[in-house]
Amino acid sequence: MAHEPLLKKVAGLLLSVEKINNQLIAKARAKTCEGCPQLDRNSKRCKVCGCFLENKIVLMTNKNPKKLGRIEITHCPLGLWGDKVIANLYRQMDGKDPL
């Protein structure tokens, strides 16, 4: 898609609340996502939350577009970043079963 880079930049601006300054965390998140079957390899988007990988891995907090811009601690919705407790917190808020 020709507009994909622009879409990623817009998504990054809209979702970003606070970025991390730790490349080790970003690299670990990216490695986990790149090995996940829920990653759309063509668009580099998570099939679960719809986020662009390159944007989400560098965010400490973000605005969830599916929840009216709710500010969240950035997490893997499947708890694969070692953040299952955080993922379950938001799942509970959304009335979903825990992981």
pLDDT score of 79: 97
> What are residue 9's phi and psi, to 5 degrees?
-65, -45
* pLDDT computed for residue 18 by the predictor: 73
What pLDDT digit, counting tens, does each position of 12-56 carry? 556 666 788 899 999 999 999 999 999 999 999 999 998 889 989
Helix runs in the chain, H state only = 4-15, 23-34, 53-56, 84-93
Tell me: the pLDDT tens digits for 50-75?
A: 888 998 999 998 888 788 888 899 99
